[in-house]
């Protein structure tokens, strides 16, 4: 079965391309990209603005489909599923952390973390959420709403929410983009610590080479092409 024969691969991209139609005609965002990511690995997807990083993340997470090629996530071929089928796989296997936090403003910190657990039918959602809220250092702030939290605190809530469901893969898209460098550094310390403790696979989109250097591996895109795929020196 082609690339999915990677026994320990939690993510496989096989010759994926993505084209969209623009007023100027067909525009190629990604072209013939292939790689596999192992269970528990931390991988940075890097490249200049417009290289195709966020598009690639969306395809790997099943938020969109490639024009050509195949993608497997946690043993499931996303490219063979419809939108509902991909949503089921995402709910079971994926966590997200975004640059803009994406918290629900009408829910407090604890309720935001509980939300995916409750949607997944977890009867002990509150206990799980309280435990991970404590892990991210917000046990004194659990009852606060997003508008009452700093940027760093909002991202801690977002990280807690992402890890609460114990996802097979955590996708992080420029997670420190809206934070100052000191706060961003602390947030990434936390994310890598949780990544190690939970054995979750981390796929991190970033233009920050220092941040990419903290991952196990770097995949570099340039104008939609995979131009480098290398292990990061310890």
Angle at 89 between CA 103 and CA 70, to 5 degrees: 115
Domain count along the chain: 1
pLDDT in tens, 4-56: 445 679 999 999 999 999 888 889 999 999 999 999 899 999 998 889 999 99
Contact 38, 26 (CB under 8 A): no
The pLDDT of residue 1: 35
CATH (domain of 121): 3.40.50.300
Please state whether 129 falls in left (phi above 0), alpha (psi between -120 and 50) or beta.
Answer: alpha
Q: Which domain holds residue 8?
A: 2-231
Report residue 100: phi and psi, to 5°. Answer: -100, 20
The CA distance from 64 to 86, in Å, is 9
The pLDDT of residue 3: 41
pLDDT at residue 2 above 50? no
The CA distance from 95 to 6, in Å, is 22
pLDDT in tens, 83-104: 999 999 998 899 998 888 889 9
């Amino acid at each position: 079965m082609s690339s999915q024969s990677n026994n320990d691969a939690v993510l496989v991209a096989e010759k994926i391309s993505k084209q969209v139609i623009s007023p100027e005609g067909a525009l190629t965002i990604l072209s013939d990209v292939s790689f596999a990511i192992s269970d528990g690995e931390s991988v940075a997807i890097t490249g200049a603005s417009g290289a195709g990083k966020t598009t690639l993340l969306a395809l790997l997470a099943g938020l969109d489909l490639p024009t050509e090629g195949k993608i497997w996530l946690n043993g499931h071929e996303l490219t063979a599923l419809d939108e509902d089928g991909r949503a089921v796989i995402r709910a079971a296997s994926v966590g997200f952390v975004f640059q803009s936090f994406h918290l629900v403003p009408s829910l407090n910190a604890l309720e935001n973390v509980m939300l995916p657990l409750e949607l997944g039918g977890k009867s002990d959602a509150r206990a799980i959420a309280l435990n991970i809220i404590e892990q991210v250092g917000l046990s004194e702030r659990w009852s606060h709403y997003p508008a009452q939290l700093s940027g760093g605190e909002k991202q801690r809530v977002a990280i807690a929410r992402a890890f609460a469901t114990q996802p097979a893969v955590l996708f992080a898209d420029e997670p420190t983009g809206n934070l100052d460098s000191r706060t961003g550094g602390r947030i990434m310390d936390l994310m890598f610590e949780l990544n190690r403790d939970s054995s979750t696979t981390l796929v991190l989109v970033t233009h920050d080479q220092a941040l990419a250097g903290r991952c196990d591996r770097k995949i570099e895109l340039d104008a939609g092409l995979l131009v480098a795929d290398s292990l990061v020196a310890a």
